[in-house]
Structure 1
Amino acid sequence: MSLLEEREIKIRRAHLMEDVMAAYSDENLCLHKLKVTFEGESGDDFGGLTKEMLTLFWIKASHNFFHGENVTVPSIPLYRFRKEGTKYTTIGRILAHTAALTETIPCQIAKSAVVAMVFEGDINPDYLLKDFLLFVSPAERLLLKQAMLDFSTLTTTQKDRLSSFFSVNGLLELPKKEQINDQILTLAEEILVKSPSRFYGLMKKGIPMTHFETFWRQLTLDHIQCIMDAQRPTVTKVISSLKTAEDLRPEEERAFYFLKEYLRGLNNDELLNFLIFVTASVNLPVDGISVSYVGTFGIMRRPVAHTCSNLLQVSTSYQFPGV
């Protein structure tokens, strides 16, 4: 997708979401390349600052205009809709530009949401179920998985929790062993597709026709699944993405080992913070993360990231992990 010449935008970190939304009130902005500056900070934008701005925007937007656990769908309380509902068209515009500039689709958004915006018709039940299990809380996920795997093993307390889960989400029928999968899929379709449908329509309005014709309409269901699954980070995938020289000196091999051990100890939020530090994005970079080595000591011994090239420089002076 070809974009027009650069447009400069200045962002205040303390008001990032408001500034980004204001910038994208211009319908033509997403037809251009960007040159981003953060107010009060020096640095040229060779792509890293643009990625950082969009990454931070989607983190904030996922809390303010979406809901869900590991994946989200658009949602705001009804009392906010009349005043803020139209903002979803701007959010759709930002989604289109994110894909054009970074070649990624924000991994916070459920695949079902992207499919519902791009395609018409029913969504693959496998998509719905996988997304729904990521959408609910970890405790709910364990309960639903056990119910689908072997309903007969549920205790009375677990069955009561399952009934409450169904009731709270609008399915008043008591869960039944022979219907549990269909019942969960019914909830998934209602929560991930039908309830947010008006938000999907508003977001779709924000995607320029040129973007739709050159990118979104070219996607298939398999494309969406491959793109979003490949970009969704896990500790194992991040470690596998690390690239370094084949012939390492002993001190470099030790530093590389310590880096991998450090990553193995991160929780999900910490892992996302690591990716933002190194790549300015929460999406796993397609070309991986390059690791190089420097011989810094003392207070200079700290990792240095180059987000434009997804490069991490680590010191070889560590003798023990984190020391």
Structure 2
Amino acid sequence: MMKTVNVFECRPGYILAEDLYLNNCLVLPQETVLTEVLIKKLANAGVPSLKVYLPSAAAQETPSSTTRTLPDFQQEYEDNANVLKDVLSDLAAGRKLEINRVSGVFDAVYTQIQHNYTLMDCINSMRSADVYTYTHSLNVALYAGLIGKWLRLSEQELQDIIQVGVLHDMGKAKTPQEILNKKGKLTPEEFEVMKKHSTLGFWIVKEVPGLKQDICNAVLTHHERIDGHGYPFGLKGKDIPFYAKIVAVADVYDALTSERVYKKRITPFDTFIEFQELGYDHFDPQILFVFLQNIANYYTGAKVRMNTGEVGEITSILPYNISKPIVRINDKVIDLAMEPDYHIEEML
């Protein structure tokens, strides 16, 4: 039985009866199983009520729904990262890509993107500089899948974009490790070597029987930029494949928010500023806008450490200024857009 329930009366185990939107952005899809963390985040975001299936009715009316906990996601994430590690190691040793070895990763990512909040918690908890090469492609596939969902792509298009995300950096298996893991800025010569990974990746996936040409082309062109200053061809605007434009945003977001051997990760809010500065010269305007508006909603209710050392909680993120949220510290409410002496140092 479906029922409209005040958000403060919701209980863990209730199941959303319809997609939930905030500021015209999809926050949680239908059939999401609510947890204490999700309910708190929705309350902090100002959601007044939810249409839900009560647990007793949910089993009858939504038999396909299953509860996915953070440990479930973490274990599946770790298993998928290990698969990609083995595949990249085999490619580096000169073996060909066997697509059946990563088909389970494609399927897992497609399932995981139906659970926005648990998925994001998992990505944030599993970041490590030591395994970045293996987890990056997995994260990009997850972010790209979310972008595709937020753009309301078809099921087939979602499956395609996830495959591009998983496969986009396969060419790095052919890139020298001393360049991939260099602690410091690459020399111009080293950067030219690094840039070859997209072309190398194209030829790796091109040899896979039955893999769509659109997927291969997106692997080749995911470093192209709208203004024509990308590589390998310097394509502009509409000449860049659609899937490549999505993966470009997911790729840069994960790189900026990840710990690397040569740099510390930055907060999502600093990343939003970077995206706004790079702006629409680098990325497709529609894709970038949809991504930033949707990804920002996730961080409502998150705990943060400020530059003052104080710990606070994000209470609101305004759609017109997503890089400067409103933070509550004890009994103080601070609008970071109005208080330049305060900024978020770390996500907790």
- The structure that is helix-richer by fraction is 1
Shared fold, TM over 0.5: no
> How does the TM-score come out when normalised to structure 1?
0.29
